[in-house]
Structure 1
Amino acid sequence: MQQPQQAQQAQPIWDPISVLKMKNTDPIESRITCIGQTKKLRRCGLWISAKDLSSANSILQTLSRQNPSFADMRVQLRRLARLLLDKRYHYRKTTQINAKLREWEESIHGFQASRNVRRGQGEGIHVKVTKPDGTNVEIDVSL
Structure 2
Amino acid sequence: QIENLWNKLTSNEPFQYFFLDDELNKQYQEEKRTGNLALFFTILAISIACLGLLGLVSYSIARRTKEIGVRKIMGSDPWSIVLLLSSETITLIAIASLIAWPLAWFYLKNWLTDFAYRIHLNPLVFILTTFLVILISVGTILWQTYRAALRNPAEALRYE
TM-score normalised per structure 1: 0.33
Whose strand proportion is higher, 1 or 2?
1
The structure with more radius of gyration: 2
Task: Identify which of structures 1 and 2 has the higher relative contact order when contacts are C-alpha pairs closer than 8 Å and 6+ apart.
Answer: 2
TM-score normalised per structure 2: 0.30
Whose helix proportion is higher, 1 or 2?
2
